[in-house]
Amino acid sequence: MYGSNVAPKKVTVPDLRARKGGEKIAMVTAYDYTMARLVDEAGVDMVLVGDSLGMVVQGLSTTIPVTLDEMAYHCRAVARGLARAHLVGDLPFMSYQVSPEQAVESAGKLMKEGACESVKLEGGQEVAEHVHRIVRAGIPVVGHVGLMPQSVHALGGFKVQGRGDAAEKVLADAIAVAQAGAFAIVLEAIPPDVAARVTESLSIPTIGIGAGAACDGQVLVCTDLLGLSRGHQPKFAKRFADLGTQAVEAFGAFVSQVRSGAFPAAAHTYKPNSATPRTTTPSTPRVLRRDVGGEVDDLDTPLPLDHWH
């Protein structure tokens, strides 16, 4: 964690590459400014605006309908909340599969419009040329093999990949993406021994999600990690908090207090006009009183806009 008055050093691609086999990399997804600020303050190294936003934010059953414009919109919001962490934007379904040219254009859009610092794409040998071309354009790439949610229909559902002989394909795919120039690779839902083999075979960091402890880093979806998700939870999605229950309790308390009239009390209400001496001339713009972080500002003098944050 970093103090609020110290500008943290930005995590760079070379920093992350240098973590291979060393201090593990912590990566978390985020989809908006508020979450981005929290994960950054906590010292997370990489923040992924995943196309999982289709399921987490939009309530879809797969990531397939997510568009490049939607990704750029969420990446922009997250970028504004990050001071230290490296920002990765996910290339959504059909924004890169068509051709290496399409992949370069889509990656460029996420860098320019989404303020991303790298892009992630799913696939193995079949996208090696796409990765190579994006990297050649100066855009750092994170690969993603194993369970690839954009291929959920081809895979027959969200299930563990790389069992038995299929382990060789996961390894070959990871090697192809690394050789094409990716600087890191996500390994999703594969047996831990397969992830360990991939990790040993590559000179770039592996970041696991449901891939065991041998990876060079771990990634989780923020809402799973915080216990905000409802419904089915994958086995790997450890809850580090139960904020969902706390949120329901807090919303419930709000409902009760609104209905009973206990909220708002005097502490959450501006002074009535009758109790505020007039200190301004009629031509001065009207200013309000605001509560900021538990303290009440006396708004006779307007505060700068960024005071709210």
Distance between alpha carbon 58 and the CA centroid of its chain, in Å? 15
- Please identify, using beta-carbon distances, which residue of 87 and 273 lies nearer to ligand KIV: 87
- Residue 215, amino acid: C
Angle at 56 between CA 242 and CA 100, to 5 degrees: 140
- Per-residue exposure over 284-304, b if at least 16 CB sit within 10 Å of its own CB, e if not: eeeeeeeeeeeeebeeeeeee
Q: What x-and-dash track marks residues 73-112 binding ligand KIV by CB under 6 A?
A: -----------------x----------------------
Vertex 22: Cα angle to 33 and 215 (nearest 5):
70
Site string for ligand KIV, 8-47 (x = CB under 6 A): ---------------------x------------------
Residue selected from 219, 225, 226, 228 as contacting ligand KIV according to rule CB under 6 A = 219
Q: In whole angstroms, what is the distance from residue 224 CA to residue 240 CA?
A: 8
Instruction: List, in order, residues 6 or more apart from 26 with CB less than 8 Å away.
Output: 43, 44, 45, 46, 217, 218
Binding ligand KIV by CB under 6 A: which of 51, 117, 216, 224? 51
Both tokens of residue 250? Answer: 């807090």
Q: Which residue is nearest to ligand KIV (CB)?
A: 50
Residues between 182 and 211 with contacts to ligand KIV, criterion CB under 6 A: 186, 188, 209
**Closer to ligand KIV by Cβ: residue 28 or 180:** 28
Task: Report helix, strand or coil for 105.
Answer: helix
Compare residues 35 and 186 and give the one whose CB is closer to ligand KIV.
186
The CB-of-86 to ligand KIV minimum distance in angstroms stands at 14
Cβ pair 31, 78 in contact under 8 A: yes
Q: Does 215 bind ligand KIV (CB under 6 A)?
A: no
Least distance (Å) between residue 52 CB and ligand KIV: 3
**# residues contacting ligand KIV (CB under 6 A):** 12
Give the H or E element holding residue 79.
Answer: helix 68-79
**Nearest approach, Cβ of residue 259 and ligand KIV (Å):** 38
- Name which of 62 and 102 has its Cβ closer to ligand KIV: 62
Report how far residue 47's alpha carbon sits from residue 84's, in angstroms, rounded to the nearest whole number: 10
- Is residue 52 close enough to count as binding ligand KIV by CB under 6 A? yes
Among 50-58, 76-84, 233-241, 261-269, the segment contacting ligand KIV (CB under 6 A): 50-58
Nearer to ligand KIV, 117 or 188 (CB): 188
Which positions are catalytic? 188
The Cα-based distances of 119 to 129, 134, 185, 284, 290 in angstroms read: 15, 9, 11, 49, 40
Among the listed residues 82, 221, 225, 226, the single contact to ligand KIV using CB under 6 A: 221
Q: Which residues of the chain form contacts with ligand KIV (CB under 6 A)?
A: 29, 48, 50-52, 90, 144, 186, 188, 209, 219, 221
